[in-house]
Structure 1
Amino acid sequence: MSTHAVLEWRNGLPYSPEFDDVYFSVSPEHPQHGLAETRYVFLQHNHLAERWQQLPTDTASHFVIVETGFGSGLNFLAALKLWRDTAPAHAHLHFVSVEIAPFTLQDLRTAHAHFPELAEASAALCAQYHLLQPGINQLELPSFSASLTLFIGDSAHYLPQLTLKADAWFLDGFAPAKNPQMWQPYLFASMATCAHAGTTFATFTSAGVVKRGLQAAGFAVQKTKGFGNKREMLCGNWPTTTASAINPLPKVAIIGAGIAGCSTANQLTSLGCEVHVFERAAQVATGASGNPRGMLYPRLNAEKPMNDQLAWRSYSYSLRHYAQLNLGDDGFQSVGLLQLGGSPREHKRVQKVAARYEQLGVDTPLLHKMTAAAASECAGVQIGHECLYFPHGAWVNPVRACQQMLKQPKIRLHLAQAVDKLSRISSGWQLFSDSSPLGTFDAVVVCNAAEAAALIPESGMWLNPVRGQMGVIAAQPAMQPLRTILCGDGYLTPAHQGTHAMGATFAPGETDTSVRAEDSEQNLHMVSTLSPQFGPVAHTAVISARASLRCGSPDYLPYVGPLLPLQDLMDSHASVNSFADLPAAQGLYVHAAHGSKGLMTAPYCAAILARRMLQDFGHTLPQLSEDTFWLGLHPQRLLFKQAGWKPLLQPFSEQEKT
């Protein structure tokens, strides 16, 4: 959905006609000129090599760089290489950049070809650099112990919203004379808001407006020799001398080893936390996450904007996330998905979604409206009516994904271990099983779906169980040409190793998970309606079937965030005028109620939750969502509504717009 940079290539260099300038310079005499300038200006004058070599080697640490103007990504690649060469193994680099017009992937690769020594870093970035959308995009590069948080949009909008603490700033982008709208007071004020003892900055420019802006914001500014033919540049630091103490990372217990629990464990341990996962079953992913294949696509809703916002963000993030888990052909395949709208009700919904995105002017590689003829050609089988096409739609093996996410040295998995009681103590939380203590933890994340209500009955959450049954059938001759996932009242995957996955029934309020022959018949009938060429499928085609419970919320959004001690507030009828008026988090969190969309939404929600949790423990890392979005997922949001706390209800009022 992003608007890409319009480039001209002059002598092989990316040039911006809008700003009448190159993104970096090279010459036959100095082919690495652009990289050398990046290293001199941004790496050397932020003293990064020395600072990274001094990071602790015996514990996890975090370093945050904020950049204005991602451009070709050259600064990021140079920082990545230096980080790998100098930083200790337990450290994590957070690189935050704002870009109003990102390069296309092809332009990025063309630009990077000038710098072969950065080929490995470029390959890691390009593997994640797709499906970018306006707003916050999180790209994970685990092989470099780094992440890129890319804000796509106007820096004047996004920089003032930053809540992180920056260790270094790369003030890049086009020169003040050519891009004056970026070098404004909001930039320097945002830098001051994010500063702490030791924050440094560097920039290629020595313009007076930049020097005065930095000084007025409180930075100590130094002029020094510029790179190459440039006479001068600026660098400096935040002059506070008293450094704050480094807070320890929390030791976290996670209850439940489904997709929500495993995603949360994976995110927390990637940030350096010690994580213990408790699962009552003898293996991971035994609930709704135990199906052999699950579909990954955004089920859009034309009438609930926040649901769609969550769907888009989760979809793009999760596609990148599963791809970098290296699940293999048996674990993840992005084969595209056609949303057919077979029944009159579903067809009406698909039409409304298509109309909404056409009205918004969305022309995106994430979503296309297709005629029946085009859809038939795409699918390889006959499609009877127009539909929506998601080119990157995928299927995932949830069990394999869960297993892979838990393969981290700081994750300890406790199987066949049911947690039935939580107790708040002065040092954190104590877990019990049949009155036997399981350990003490700084924080607990409850991820056990419908069972969460019994474990934390005071939460005030409404949890709606829905029974669903899916099946695996032998490959059918009529379905053999199928190339994409078909999704109508249910789904059907293309043949893989001689089988198709089909499903799933939908039975709200039912909790029996025994397999039913009538549900298999219902799924077989559904499959026969997806294409006119399929015809009836015999019950003997069913190889296996599986029923499980999906747990959702009344507004179809998951519960993600802290459980707060609200009862005293509600009993006293206290007025809550902002999020800041709520009680502080006490180390108890919920990640549940994803319904049938958990495979897609859980990894993204886990990434948001992990960073917010660390913020509660004194580690201010780059945020992955706006405050209003985060509040819209709050586990106690329905209690906020009951209490009439209007300042907290903006996300809900957006939900109710049509």
Structure 2
Amino acid sequence: MSEPIDWMPDGTPYSPRFGDRYHSERGGLDQARHVFLGGCGLPAAWADAQQWRILETGFGFGLNFLVAWAAWKADAHRPRLLHFTSAEAFPVSADDMRRAMPEDPALRPLAEKLAQQFQGLLPGVHRLCFEQGQVLLTLYIGDAQAMLRRQQTTADSIYLDGFSPALNPGLWSADTMRALARHCRRGTQLSTWCVARTVRDALAQQGFQVRKVDGVPPKRHNLHAIYDPAWQPRGPGAQAPQAVTPRRCMVLGAGIAGAAAAASLARRGWQVTVLDAASTPAAGASALAAGLFCPHVSPDDSQLSRLSRDGARLTLAQLRMLSAQGLLRPGTDWDHTGVLEHGVQATPRLPRGWQSPGPGDYWSRPADAWQLAQAGLPGDAPACWHAQAGWVRPARLVQAQLALPGVRWQGNACAQRLVRVQSSDHQAWQVFDASGTLLAEAELAVIALGPATNALLEHSLGVQACWPLQPIRGQVSWDVHTGASLQAMPPFPVNGHGNLVPAMPLPGGESRQGWIMGSTFERDQTALPPSLQDQSAAHAANGAKLSQLLPRTYESLQGFFSAPPRPTWGAVRVASPDRLPVVGPVSAQAPGLWALTAMGSRGLTLSLLCGELLAARLHGEPLPLDAKLAAALDSERLQGRR
């Protein structure tokens, strides 16, 4: 449930939990502008920086974030990326956020954009994207002290905010100040309206140089502090890698993983060249006519469930951003339809502890009678509805990302071997083809070659560098719609035992549509195209899945599955032993060489999130997901299994 809010006669929001206003009767804008933004020396302190990272305790209605965002927009010398990270144990509802919107004309449209995304805030880490991915809000939903201890981030500025120490003592405790200090670099500035002696002493004990400054009425004084301990700091902030200067990058592989890495790095200022052996992008598994992005559910809310929610949120955000830039067409290249999951093999079970109504409903909930009827399923069918899900044409997504500024495409470039070149003033990777021709050179190289990853690692670093990746061939059945087949389809995609995209645009005219059903999972099979015998077996397998998933739809397509086999569409994906993606450096002995691979069958849900994770790790940014989840994807987990 969202945090309940009362409203004072003057329209100020009031917290029944803490027994206090969210801000003074004079409004919170002066405090946001002068205590926090100005108190941390902003915007002057961030002038011409590559990125700036603000860490806040107590998000409330987001006034401090809105003021920082507006200042960023208005500043000609703004940083390329603005990161705003905030901890909030009791998030308000989007409706209450709209009611509390400031009247300021510069802030009101930003507040509306914030409210649109301020949904589904289950405990954990959530990444919200604005300004084409250049303003990134990372929300830590949970107890601030606990969340700060768990996450790995570095702050350039700290906003110490929240209800007063008398009403919310945990937020101002010595343990919270210790947790905050972990995320500071030497020189991090902190500002707050609270000048309580206990807070000043706790900050000083953690290495902050603390002083009172003139306050913003009705306060006589505010507090300013700079992190400058007499000892050598050892927290994540002090251990963060040295800032990387964006230069040249080459991404090997032009599928959805490679394109995601290229887009994320280009947004951070890299000049990215994407190389692929094919003559066109998305020639491998990303050439699938259409696929689904969708959350996964499990009673224990497993790693995959949480990861897929993060992926679905970020995928939707980036699809909307690319559409706003005119690079994708909603309804033609992708659609936010929702997805019905029919539990053929096992009943879909929502996480224990989810309450309805609650933030979990934003993601997944039991299917209702209308949804089941539209799918031709009985009213007691085991099914759930994933609201933040839909379909996308992978090749169009790849093409849109490769069209972003800073990205260059290079086809017919079959990478055979990588070589590290190093001198006193120059370090770079060079990639060569089988004939020994130099294809490209760059300071950073990202391998996103799917099933071809190990061949390149072996030729470049030796067989000991290879990872235990399993190739999995998948085949789908598809056809052009007739009027009868289109009428028999549900109005939304369905997954469970296989998945069906019921209607997707096909080349040859906007009215030409098709359906697609699959996919098979043929482990350790790599032959393409599949043999006629394998294609026939794949159609039989896909038909059998559809007969259980959607019996009514299967009956309408009997002519397809009982006719002589038609060609399937097939490709090879790759998976790690734990079926999670691989994101991170290839080896400590190969600096500047990273990998983004092993998306398995969830590339459309996870690739864009993993591209952001790669860029965040490289640049020492706040991570777009929980630190433990990020560690579960780290390439280092495979080191002992080479």
Q: TM-score, normalised on structure 1?
A: 0.83
- Whether 1:465 and 2:459 are equivalent positions in the alignment is no
Greater Cα offset, 475-484 or 4-13: 475-484
Q: Please state whether the residue corresponding to 2:67 is helix, strand or coil.
A: helix
Partners of 1:218 and 1:268 in 2: how far apart? 35
- Whether 1:551 and 2:550 are equivalent positions in the alignment is no
Taking structure 1 as reference, are residues 438 and 87 closer, same or farther at Cα in structure 2, changes over 3 Å only? same
How many residues align structurally?
A: 598
Q: Please state whether the residue corresponding to 1:467 is helix, strand or coil.
A: strand
Q: Which residue of 2 aligns with 1:624?
A: 624
Q: Which residue of 1 aligns with 2:48?
A: 55
Shift of 1:596: 0.8
Deviations 1:350-387 (A, max 9, x none): x2x51x6246668612122347x454246477677221
Which runs of no fewer than 5 residues in structure 2 stay unpaired?
233-237, 505-510
Q: Which residue of 1 aligns with 2:123?
A: 134
Equivalent residues of 1:9, 1:15 under 8 A apart: yes
Q: Please state whether the residue corresponding to 2:61 is helix, strand or coil.
A: coil
Equivalent residues of 1:422, 1:455 under 8 A apart: yes
Taking structure 1 as reference, are residues 45 and 554 closer, same or farther at Cα in structure 2, changes over 3 Å only? closer
Shift of 1:90: 5.8
Partners of 1:407 and 1:89 in 2: how far apart? 24
Deviations 1:485-524 (A, max 9, x none): 1224222234354433322233222223337562446545
Tell me the amino acid that sits aligned with residue 91 of structure 2: P
- Decide which of 493, 514, 527 is 1:485's aligned counterpart: 493
Equivalent residues of 1:340, 1:386 under 8 A apart: yes
Taking structure 1 as reference, are residues 24 and 407 closer, same or farther at Cα in structure 2, changes over 3 Å only? farther
Taking structure 1 as reference, are residues 163 and 593 closer, same or farther at Cα in structure 2, changes over 3 Å only? closer
Taking structure 1 as reference, are residues 403 and 124 closer, same or farther at Cα in structure 2, changes over 3 Å only? farther
Equivalent residues of 1:90, 1:272 under 8 A apart: no
Equivalent residues of 1:524, 1:539 under 8 A apart: no
- Whether 1:183 and 2:172 are equivalent positions in the alignment is yes
Shift of 1:321: 3.0
Equivalent residues of 2:582, 2:596 under 8 A apart: yes
Equivalent residues of 1:19, 1:179 under 8 A apart: yes
Equivalent residues of 1:71, 1:102 under 8 A apart: yes
Partners of 1:280 and 1:224 in 2: how far apart? 61
Shift of 1:240: 7.5
Shift of 1:188: 2.2
Q: Which residue of 1 aligns with 2:136?
A: 147
Equivalent residues of 1:491, 1:504 under 8 A apart: yes
Q: Please state whether the residue corresponding to 1:167 is helix, strand or coil.
A: strand
Taking structure 1 as reference, are residues 543 and 71 closer, same or farther at Cα in structure 2, changes over 3 Å only? farther
Taking structure 1 as reference, are residues 598 and 8 closer, same or farther at Cα in structure 2, changes over 3 Å only? same
Q: Which residue of 2 aligns with 1:46?
A: 40
Shift of 1:48: 0.6
Q: How does 1:132-281 map to 2 (within 5 A)?
A: 132-143=121-132, 145-239=134-228, 247-281=244-278
Q: Please state whether the residue corresponding to 2:169 is helix, strand or coil.
A: coil
Shift of 1:157: 0.8
Q: Please state whether the residue corresponding to 2:552 is helix, strand or coil.
A: coil
Q: Please state whether the residue corresponding to 1:632 is helix, strand or coil.
A: helix
Superposed CA RMSD in Å reads 3.0
Equivalent residues of 1:384, 1:532 under 8 A apart: no
- Whether 1:117 and 2:106 are equivalent positions in the alignment is yes
Q: Which residue of 1 aligns with 2:507?
A: none
Tell me the amino acid that sits aligned with residue 405 of structure 1: Q
Taking structure 1 as reference, are residues 246 and 489 closer, same or farther at Cα in structure 2, changes over 3 Å only? closer
Greater Cα offset, 540-549 or 181-190: 540-549
Deviations 1:148-188 (A, max 9, x none): 11111111112234443322111111111211110011232
Q: Which residue of 2 aligns with 1:30?
A: none
Taking structure 1 as reference, are residues 300 and 523 closer, same or farther at Cα in structure 2, changes over 3 Å only? same
- Decide which of 554, 560, 571 is 1:539's aligned counterpart: 560
Taking structure 1 as reference, are residues 383 and 514 closer, same or farther at Cα in structure 2, changes over 3 Å only? farther
Partners of 2:469 and 2:153 in 1: how far apart? 33
Q: TM-score, normalised on structure 2?
A: 0.85
Once the two structures are aligned, what percentage of the paired residues are identical?
29
- Whether 1:612 and 2:617 are equivalent positions in the alignment is yes
Q: Which residue of 2 aligns with 1:653?
A: none
Q: Please state whether the residue corresponding to 2:3 is helix, strand or coil.
A: coil
Q: Which residue of 2 aligns with 1:4?
A: 2
Q: Which residue of 1 aligns with 2:418?
A: 422
Equivalent residues of 2:469, 2:575 under 8 A apart: yes
Q: Please state whether the residue corresponding to 1:456 is helix, strand or coil.
A: helix
Greater Cα offset, 536-545 or 8-17: 536-545
- Decide which of 520, 530, 538 is 2:549's aligned counterpart: 530
Tell me the amino acid that sits aligned with residue 154 of structure 1: D
Equivalent residues of 2:287, 2:395 under 8 A apart: yes
Q: Which residue of 1 aligns with 2:311?
A: 314
Shift of 1:113: 5.1
